[in-house]
Amino acid sequence: MSASFMDGLLLAASADVPIQPALWLTQAWQTLGWSVVLAWLGLVLVRRLSPNRVVHVGTALVLAAWTWLPGPWSPDYWLALAFQAPSVLTVLLCGLMLQRGWHAPSGWDSQIRPPSARSHAMAWVGVVLGWTLLLDAFALLPVQLYAWGFSPWAVTLVVALALMPWLLSSPMQRMPVVAWTPLAAVLLFALARLPSGNVWDAVLDPWLWLVLQGMVLHKALNRY
């Protein structure tokens, strides 16, 4: 194997010079992401309090528009100080659920089906990844896993993990839309490097990690 080929592999795997998204794109994504997340949370809340569809639509629109106000008048300003930007996967999932909740009947919240085996397996992947990154944050791992997220090889690994639903299903089985969201998140990351240039931030954030742990714990309690 030639030295030039080895140098090319090392350069491809290197995380010393991470590719960051443009500043304006980071700021736009931060506001857009929180507007989608808050609109979905508002829709879920008012659907449980009121059957009025006008209230549902109005709440989601008001929360989304409120996020675009400048400076401290916007919840995006304070959320970004505490949590920075939501992950690409979180925004895509919230957008998908927002679209479904927008057209669903009033009893939709009580008719949600339990997670499938594919969703449960993907939830376990997210939980394990989150705990591993937490150990890395406290320097309890022999490798710097988060820093490796700037490497192109990390993107390849995430793509392989995102293909798990296809590996766990039969060839003739139709995949739901939600199964495409991890791959869509990685594709958006590859195109725009959102939200931080690190692939782990594109597929996982603290709030999504907590939700995934809740899914796993709920499944375990129902079983035992």
pLDDT tens by residue, 30-65:
999 999 999 999 999 998 888 888 888 899 999 999
Each domain of the chain, given as residue ranges in start order, spans 20-105+114-223
Q: Model pTM?
A: 0.85
Query: If you write DSSP's letter for every residue of the chain in order, what string do you get?
Result: --HHHHHHHHHHH--SS--PPPHHHHHHHHHHHHHHHHHHHHHHHHHHH---HHHHHHHHHHHHHHTTS-GGGSHHHHHHHHH-S--HHHHHHHHHHHHHHHHS-TTGGGGPPPP-HHHHHHHHHHHHHHHHHHHHHTT-SSS-HHHHTTSHHHHHHHHHHHTHHHHTS-TTPPPPGGGGHHHHHHHHHHHH-TTTS-HHHHH--HHHHHHHHHHHHHHHHHH-
Q: Residues 165-186: pLDDT tens digits?
A: 777 666 556 667 787 899 899 9
In the predicted structure, residue 121 carries a pLDDT above the cut 70: yes
pLDDT for the residue 104: 64
